[in-house]
Amino acid sequence: MNTSQEIQVTPHRGRGVIARYREFLPVSDSTPIVSLGEGGTPLISSPRLSAIVGRGCEVHLKYEGLNPTCSFKDRGMTVAVSKAVEGGTLAVICASTGNTSASAAAYAARAGIRCAVVLPAGKIASGKLLQAFAYGAKVVAIEGNFDDALRIVRRLGARDDFAIVNSINPDRIAGQKTAAFEIVDDLGDAPDLHLLPLGNAGNISAYWAGYREYRDAGNSTRSPAMIGFEAAGAAPMFHGRVVENPETIASAIRIGNPASWETADRAVRDSHGAIDIVTDDEILAAQQWLATQEGIFVEPASAAPIAGLFKCCEPARSPAYSFAQIPEGSRIVCTVTGHGLKDPEVMMDRVMKLTAVAPNEEAVLRAIGF
Ligand SMILES: *Cc1c(COP(=O)(O)O)cnc(C)c1O
């Protein structure tokens, strides 16, 4: 029988990021808190990635797929929707590559307000689109890409009817800082390196703000080098110019003109980090590697920093940030941003190859190949 001492408690899981970190967030006693218990996601140590980096370095994965709508967007959305409700807004609107719309729809439902999402037609992973419908959002598909959708939303948001809950809303960025706080709280200090995917560049900006604020508050002694990875076909920051028709299988980072370009550039520069690119093949290989080697299934965009970590370990590939120089025992965190079930299409060809065999042990053993 379990005694109370034997029961493992994760005290922060399910509380929500505003309850846990309110002194760092733009809320007051009069802000109605709209929360689904986001945050408190596990920081999972990866022995196999640590072995690949070598020299006593530790790699940890911040598994953001375990948020209420299965991506990190929920951290920012709890703050953005709470502030929108405090301001008397009756509807939120966003452009989305998928996860922002899923999150906005859920938090709007929770708040009892309306939600409109503007999406590039045919470009949204099916799990994410399904979420927007399930939570009751008004979904509009446009014949254009994400950057077109965001341009429209910016104009509509200038009217009084809507609050924009894209990451151009500073409340979103404020909420997303809490992931950096959690990492410092779990590790006891900030890591040396932080790797993450780069799309609209809000998240890298949020992490950097979070690491700095937490250090200024005396909760850590340092801040990490921020290393962002764009998909090779959607790499405006890496190339230093807008990409008109971004293309990548990693739909969450299929963005040609990042809204937080300047703050992200500053984060990379001030942290002595880097921006690099990974190809779609590298992304898919890293996604499969992570699922089969560590039991962590993430969507393609989330595998970009894992593909990036492999690249950083191979000086011959001229990575923008080479791990050949990092000190022994460095601590590395990779954020894996969204759950693999959101994007079943990328796995579907393999699933479709499944054919039935005769219902007996011999046929099953033959099929297993043992
Ligand atoms: C939004 C998103 C990103 C990109 O984050 P930015 O803040 O736009 O750079 C990466 N991965 C997933 C799963 C996302 O939903």
Nearest CA to ligand 1 atom 2: 252
Ligand 1 mutation target, pool 61, 253, 265, 275, most atoms within 8 A of CB: 253
Instruction: Summarize the confidence of residues 145-164 as an average pLDDT.
Output: 90
DSSP 3-state of 103? helix
Per-residue pLDDT, 14 = 83
What is Dmax (Cα atoms) for the chain?
Answer: 68
Kindly give the number of the ligand 1 atom that is closest to the alpha carbon of 167. 7
Kindly give the distance from the C-alpha atom of residue 51 to the centroid of ligand 1, in angstroms, as a whole number.
27
- Give residue-wise pLDDT tens across range 311-335: 999 999 999 999 998 999 999 999 9
Instruction: Summarize the confidence of residues 93-112 as an average pLDDT.
Output: 97
345 CB-side CA count, 13 A: 13
Nearest CA to ligand 1 atom 15: 99
Instruction: Summarize the confidence of residues 118-142 as an average pLDDT.
Output: 95
Burial class of residue 216 in the structure, from the number of CB atoms within 10 Å of its CB (0-12 exposed, 13-18 middle, 19+ buried):
exposed
Distance between CA 155 and CA 128 in Å, rounded?
A: 24
Sign of CA dihedral 12, 13, 19, 23: positive
- Give residue-wise pLDDT tens across range 31-89: 999 999 999 999 999 999 999 999 999 999 999 999 999 999 999 999 999 999 999 99
- Give residue-wise pLDDT tens across range 279-323: 999 999 999 999 999 999 999 999 999 999 999 999 999 999 999
Nearest CA to ligand 1 atom 13: 338
- Give residue-wise pLDDT tens across range 158-203: 888 899 999 899 999 999 999 999 999 999 999 999 999 999 999 9
Nearest CA to ligand 1 atom 5: 199
Kindly give the distance from the C-alpha atom of residue 316 to the centroid of ligand 1, in angstroms, as a whole number.
29
pTM of the model: 0.94
Q: Token pair for residue 58? A: 């530790």
User: Taking all residues of the chain, what is their mean pLDDT, rounded to a whole number?
Assistant: 94
In the chain, % helix, strand, coil (3-state, to 5) comes to 45, 15, 40
Kindly give the distance from the C-alpha atom of residue 63 to the centroid of ligand 1, in angstroms, as a whole number.
13
Reported confidence tier of residue 7, pLDDT bands at 50, 70, 90: low
Q: Is the pLDDT of residue 4 over 60?
A: no
Kindly give the number of the ligand 1 atom that is closest to the alpha carbon of 199. 9
Kindly give the distance from the C-alpha atom of residue 253 to the centroid of ligand 1, in angstroms, as a whole number.
6
The set of protein residues with a Cβ atom below 6 angstroms from ligand 1 is 71, 73, 99, 167, 197-203, 252-253, 299, 301-302, 337-338
Kindly give the distance from the C-alpha atom of residue 97 to the centroid of ligand 1, in angstroms, as a whole number.
9
Kindly give the distance from the C-alpha atom of residue 189 to the centroid of ligand 1, in angstroms, as a whole number.
25
| Percent of the chain residues past pLDDT 70, beyond the cut | 97
Instruction: Summarize the confidence of residues 90-107 as an average pLDDT.
Output: 96
Kindly give the distance from the C-alpha atom of residue 72 to the centroid of ligand 1, in angstroms, as a whole number.
8
Per-residue pLDDT, 322 = 96
* Backbone dihedral angles phi then psi of residue 187, each to the nearest 5 degrees: -85, -15
The per-residue DSSP string of 157-174 comes to HTSSS-EE-STTSHHHHH
Reported confidence tier of residue 346, pLDDT bands at 50, 70, 90: confident
Kindly give the number of the ligand 1 atom that is closest to the alpha carbon of 298. 13
Nearest CA to ligand 1 atom 14: 252
Ligand 1 mutation target, pool 205, 230, 275, 337, most atoms within 8 A of CB: 337
Per-residue pLDDT, 3 = 45
Q: Is the pLDDT of residue 5 over 90?
A: no
- Give residue-wise pLDDT tens across range 236-290: 999 999 999 999 999 999 999 999 999 999 999 999 999 999 999 999 999 999 9
Per-residue pLDDT, 325 = 86
Query: Are 245 and 236 in contact, with CB atoms under 8 Å apart?
Result: no
Per-residue pLDDT, 2 = 42
Query: Are 259 and 236 in contact, with CB atoms under 8 Å apart?
Result: no
**Distance of CA 357 to CAs 298, 349, 354, 361, 370, Å?**
30, 19, 10, 10, 15
